Every structure is written in structure tokens, then in C-alpha cells.
């Protein structure tokens, strides 16, 4: 079954739930965006997902990437698809207008990324790495580097990567060994090996621009001694075109569980020429621009593959005849009823759909604040959204990718044995979605970042900003009788999150192990609370749309039904998460090394 772009849900969330045009009007780079233009962009992106990327998804997974003499070839159809992608101008969608980009907000590209990830995650990875690299260069590089590299990246003629991980240094990047030695001409000579480099070598573009973390010989110890360098695959000639090959080579490709059409490379830098991006010894901070962008993308990958899995599973459940409805035959003239009559099948499908809608909404909410932090004319409003984003990103990345993987597994379960074989595509979705929980900072690290840096270290100050957003929503809608039930549920889980935050800060201040022991449950509780917040917004928009007489009652009733399932069946998990947090670190830390 081919992927279908969920344009109806997307347009409803964008225009009815988040009032996109009103938000865009307040941003300096988005004044010309109209509902018609946004609709046209998303519809065209949906066609690309459906007609260009989905048809080569399974074939690309089976063929994988080729590797011969340091050169990587992408699967059949990928080069032609990439040419069409570039021809359509998609590679420069969010790029800076001053260097040939189109200046679109992240909100639009987030929705497009979700569709592309759902249709073909491997292909999408080549594109999001380039977008993230261009964003980082634009934010932190010199004017000369911007003028040299951004136009070609926006045109899609060149692509980008980020090179962080080494065999001994993943999360703890302060341990990296890659060295950068200053040269007389102002460039640097980089030597070292990086692993797990997505799109590190391929045949889609004529040049690849690597953003590489490295240390100068006299750099301070740890993460404060890391600098960021731009290292092109090919150096440029005097005219700015492709010149001599740089001393960067692909040593091998990783053999992986999923995303097999995405080239995951070992890259060797042997006195490769690089150029400093930003200030010396501030590279990790500068690269967080790209890392936060990519983390949002990983949550979108979870949403996209969950949507793909839901489409397959819901269609199958409507057609597959097995057994009879518990209350008696629904289709007496047939040998059996569709499995959609069974409560447990409905449980799985409704769990998938309720989390997909909330995850998509949370990703949009995060993307809006990312846009505000970059594009709003008011400095205080930009700074507030920037602080909110730093809180939201670890939750969006971890919770959306967790729930995305869960949805793929549930979809596989709906199909039973057919979900386990490759024909239907669900086993590929399970394999492809699993990586979203691991790369760009494993979800356990995101939870630690949330509980430690963003909560304990700030004494809950960043959460207070989010609580202000929630309280503002409750205050604005408390008088609406249709919202009473939903707001009561929301207030309860919000209060529970505040209570658990106070407990985490108190316990963590006395015992550092308490932060690690509580972190994952705390991240899940915040994710569940945010999903509840998103469902408040969806329900309110649905009620208002019905009141206005918009003729789509079946769709709106369906949304409210899915929302009611979320409140009845999923939200109560907040209670067990709170109990996990209250249990503390004792049972986690009491076991000795030998007992493991």
C-alpha cells in the first residue's frame, strides 16, 4: 500500500488549531504567506511524497546503498528523485533570502518533512542534513563562507552533513580525538575518524559540505575545547567551482537494521582542509543550532512513519475478515466480520491515531516557537520562545519518536503475520522508526537533558514558561461549557507535572542519582501532559468549527471521538508515571556491578 499525504489533518491543524496566518503575520520573514500559498505548497509536497518518494521506498530498502573503492551509490531511482526534488526548489525552502533561499518558516518545512519521512525516511535524511547544515552556516559562519557555500546548498547542487561521533566518543563529545592544526593561510588541517555520519558519501550531489567537530592541539580539556569546522569533500577553484579532492574519504558503510537506503558512513580526515565556523572552542554550542533542528526532525520521522503505519493498519482492519463481533455478526452475509469490529483492534488503531495527531500538533507547536525565536521583531518575545524551545525539543524528539515506534509496532500487530513479512511494508517501518529513538542524542540522553539541565539547573524556571502558556489557555476557555470536561483533565495532569517537578528538583538537589532515576518517567510525564495540551487545542478548534457550521461533521465528530479515547485510555498513565518518579533511585542503584 502506497503512502497518502494526510493533507486534511495537516491543513486542519495548521489553520484551525494554530491559526497559521495570524502567527506568520507577526514574523518579519513571513508576511507574504497566505492560506492559498501554504495550501499549494503542502499539496505539491504531498504529491512528491506519494508519487516520487513512496514508490522507491521498499525497493530502496531491499537494494540498499552500494560501496566500492570509497565511493557510495544510492539505490536505483534515488538520483532521479533527487533531481526532481531539486528542480522543484525544495532544497532552499527555509533558506535565507539574502543567499538565494525562499525564507519559509520551519512550520511549513516541518509538515513537509513529516510527509517525506512517512513516504521514504532514507531519502528524507539526505535532505534534512543539508537544511540543518545550511542553517548552522547561516547562523555562525563568516560572510565569506556564507556567500561561498549557502547558494549551492540552497540550490541542492551541494549537500551537507554533521560529523560528531567517534568510536570512543558519542554522547561525551568532550572526549573526541579529531585534531585541527592551524595553517598559514587561515585554514586548518583536520585529522581523525568520524563514525555514523548520515549522508557522509553518496552520488546525489557534486559536493558534500561536512560540519566537523575537532580540537586544536592546545585546546582546553572537555567540551569547552571543541571547535567547529567546514570541511568540503572537494575544495573550490578560483571561480568557486569544484576543484581538487580534499583529504576526506569514506572508509566503509555501516550495515544497519533499517534506513538502509541512507548512507551511514565512516569518514576519515587525513590532513583535510577545513575552515573555522564561529569562534574557537565554541563549536559544540554553535552546532547545537543544527542538532536542535535535527532533533525536531527525528520526532517528525516518528510521526511520519506512525502515520504510514496507521494508514496500512486501518485499511487492513476494514478489509480483513476474521471472527465475529462480540455483540453478534455485523455482516451476517459474509463468512466473518472485518477485524475492525474487535475492541482490541480498535484499541490499537485509536492509540496510534490519537498519538499521531497529538505528536504532529506538538511538532507544529515546537516549530512555531522555533520560528518565533528567529523571526519575531520583538527581542523579548524571541528570547522567551528560545527558552521554551530548549525545553520542548528534548521532549518532542524523545516522546514523538517513542510513540512513533510504538505506533509502527501496533500497526504490525494489527496485521498479525502479514505485518511480519515485507510485502505490506510495516516491518520496514518498524526497522526504520527504531533509529529515531537513538540518533541525534538517544532518548535517554534527551530525558537527562530535560530533567537535569532544563529542570534541576534552572529550578524549574523554563517549565514555568510552559505552565504560563497552559494557564493562559485554561483561563481563556474556562467559561466554555463544552470544554469543562477536557480542561478538568488537563488541569489535573498539569498539576501533577508541577508536583513531580518540585519533587525531582528537591530529590536531585540532595542526590544526583535521583535525576537519572527519575528522568525517563519525568520526560514521559511531560510528553503526555504536552499531548494533553495539544488535544485541548484540537478539541477546541473542532468545537468552534462545528459551531461555525462548517460542513464536515463526520470528520469533526471523529476527531472528538479520538480525543475522548486519549483522555479515557491514555492520559491515566500519568498516575503510574508519577508513582515511578516517587519511587526514587534506591531500587535502581542498590544492585552491585557483579549482580548485573
The catalytic site residues sit at 440
Q: Which residue has the cell 512513533?
A: 404
Q: Which H or E run contains 424? A: none
Using CA atoms, how far apart are residues 135 and 294, in angstroms rounded to an integer? Answer: 11
User: Any alpha helices (H) in 120-235, and if so which ranges?
Assistant: 121-140, 143-155
Using CA atoms, how far apart are residues 370 and 301, in angstroms rounded to an integer? Answer: 18
For residue 53, what are the CA distances in angstroms to 34, 85, 416, 422, 516? 27, 10, 26, 18, 40
What is the SS3 assignment for 390-413?
A: HHHHHHHHHHHHHHHHHHHHHHHH
Cell of 174: 568532550
* Coil vs helix vs strand at 253: strand
Cell of 269: 580526515
Q: Which residue has the cell 552533513?
A: 161
Residues 6 or more apart whose Cβ sits within 8 Å of residue 380: none
* Coil vs helix vs strand at 440: coil
Using CA atoms, how far apart are residues 55 and 301, in angstroms rounded to an integer? Answer: 18
Cell of 12: 486542519
For residue 477, what are the CA distances in angstroms to 362, 407, 471, 472, 568? 20, 31, 10, 9, 21
CB-based contact 164:193 (threshold 8 Å) = no
What is the SS3 assignment for 515-547?
A: HHHHHHHHHHHHHHHHHHHHHHHHHHHHHHHHH
Using CA atoms, how far apart are residues 391 and 364, in angstroms rounded to an integer? Answer: 15
CB-based contact 47:4 (threshold 8 Å) = no
CB-based contact 463:391 (threshold 8 Å) = yes
DSSP string, 175-191: G---EEEE-TTS-EEEE
For residue 351, what are the CA distances in angstroms to 92, 424, 446, 531? 36, 20, 24, 12
- Fill in the DSSP letter of residue 19: -
Amino acid at each position: 500500500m502506497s503512502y497518502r499525504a494526510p493533507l486534511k489533518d495537516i491543513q486542519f491543524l495548521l489553520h484551525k488549531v494554530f491559526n497559521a496566518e495570524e502567527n506568520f503575520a507577526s514574523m518579519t520573514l513571513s508576511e507574504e504567506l497566505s492560506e492559498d500559498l501554504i495550501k499549494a505548497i503542502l499539496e505539491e509536497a504531498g504529491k512528491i511524497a506519494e508519487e516520487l518518494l513512496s514508490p522507491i521506498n521498499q525497493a530502496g530498502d531491499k537494494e540498499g546503498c552500494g560501496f566500492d573503492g570509497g565511493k557510495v551509490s544510492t539505490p536505483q531511482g534515488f538520483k532521479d528523485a533527487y533531481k526532481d526534488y531539486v528542480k522543484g526548489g525544495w532544497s532552499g525552502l527555509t533558506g535565507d533570502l539574502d543567499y538565494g533561499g525562499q525564507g519559509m518558516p520551519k512550520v511549513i518545512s516541518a509538515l513537509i518533512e513529516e510527509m517525506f519521512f512517512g513516504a521514504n525516511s532514507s531519502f528524507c535524511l539526505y535532505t534534512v542534513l543539508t537544511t540543518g547544515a545550511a542553517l548552522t552556516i547561516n547562523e555562525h559562519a563568516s560572510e565569506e563562507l556564507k556567500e561561498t557555500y549557502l547558494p549551492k546548498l540552497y540550490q541542492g547542487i551541494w549537500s551537507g552533513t554533521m560529523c560528531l561521533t567517534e568510536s570512543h566518543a558519542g554522547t561525551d563529545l568532550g572526549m573526541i580525538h579529531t585534531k585541527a592544526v592551524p595553517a598559514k593561510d587561515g585554514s586548518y588541517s583536520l585529522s581523525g575518524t568520524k563514525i555514523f555520519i548520515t549522508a557522509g558519501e553518496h552520488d546525489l550531489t557534486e559536493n558534500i559540505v561536512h560540519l566537523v567537530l575537532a580540537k586544536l592541539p592546545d585546546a582546553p580539556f572537555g567540551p569547552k575545547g571543541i571547535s567547529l569546522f567546514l570541511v568540503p569533500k572537494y575544495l573550490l577553484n578560483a571561480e568557486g567551482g569544484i576543484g581538487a579532492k580534499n583529504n576526506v574519504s569514506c572508509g566503509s558503510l555501516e550495515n544497519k537494521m533499517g534506513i538502509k537506503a541512507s548512507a551511514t558512513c565512516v569518514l576519515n580526515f587525513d590532513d583535510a582542509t577545513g575552515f573555522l565556523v564561529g569562534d574557537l572552542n565554541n563549536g559544540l554550542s554553535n552546532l547545537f543550532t543544527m542538532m536542535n533542528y535535527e532533533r525536531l526532525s527525528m520526532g517528525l520521522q516518528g510521526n511520519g512513519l506512525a502515520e504510514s503505519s496507521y494508514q496500512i493498519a486501518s485499511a487492513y482492519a476494514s478489509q480483513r475478515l476474521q471472527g465475529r463481533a462480540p455483540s453478534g455478526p455485523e455482516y451476517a452475509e459474509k463468512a466473518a466480520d472485518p477485524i475492525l469490529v474487535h475492541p482490541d483492534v480498535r484499541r490499537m488503531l485509536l492509540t496510534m491515531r490519537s498519538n499521531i495527531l497529538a505528536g504532529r500538533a506538538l511538532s507544529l507547536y515546537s516549530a512555531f516557537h522555533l520560528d518565533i525565536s528567529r523571526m519575531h521583531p520583538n527581542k523579548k518575545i524571541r528570547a522567551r520562545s528560545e527558552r521554551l524551545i530548549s525545553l520542548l525539543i528534548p521532549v518532542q524528539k524523545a516522546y514523538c519518536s517513542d510513540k512513533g515506534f510504538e505506533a509502527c509496532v501496533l500497526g504490525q500487530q494489527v496485521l498479525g503475520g502479514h505485518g511480519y513479512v515485507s510485502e505490506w511494508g510495516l516491518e520496514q517501518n518498524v526497522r526504520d522508526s527504531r533509529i529515531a529513538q537513538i540518533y541525534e542524542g538517544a532518548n535517554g540522553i534527551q530525558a537527562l537533558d530535560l530533567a537535569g539541565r532544563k529542570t534541576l539547573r534552572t529550578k524549574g524556571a523554563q517549565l514555568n514558561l510552559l505552565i504560563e502558556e497552559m494557564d493562559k489557555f485554561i483561563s481563556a476557555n474556562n467559561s466554555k461549557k463544552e470544554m469543562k470536561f477536557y480542561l478538568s483533565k488537563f488541569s489535573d495532569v498539569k498539576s501533577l507535572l508541577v508536583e513531580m517537578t518540585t519533587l525531582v528538583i528537591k530529590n536531585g538537589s540532595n542526590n544526583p542519582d535521583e535525576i537519572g532515576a527519575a528522568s525517563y518517567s519525568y520526560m514521559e510525564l511531560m510528553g503526555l501532559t504536552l499531548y494533553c495540551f495539544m488535544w485541548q487545542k484540537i478539541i477546541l478548534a473542532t468545537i468552534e468549527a462545528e459551531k461555525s457550521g462548517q460542513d464536515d461533521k463526520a470528520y469533526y465528530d471523529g476527531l472528538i471521538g479520538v480525543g475522548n479515547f486519549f483522555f479515557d485510555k491514555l492520559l491515566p498513565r500519568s498516575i503510574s508515571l508519577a508513582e515511578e518518579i516517587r519511587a526514587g533511585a534506591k531500587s535502581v542503584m542498590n544492585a552491585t556491578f557483579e549482580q548485573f
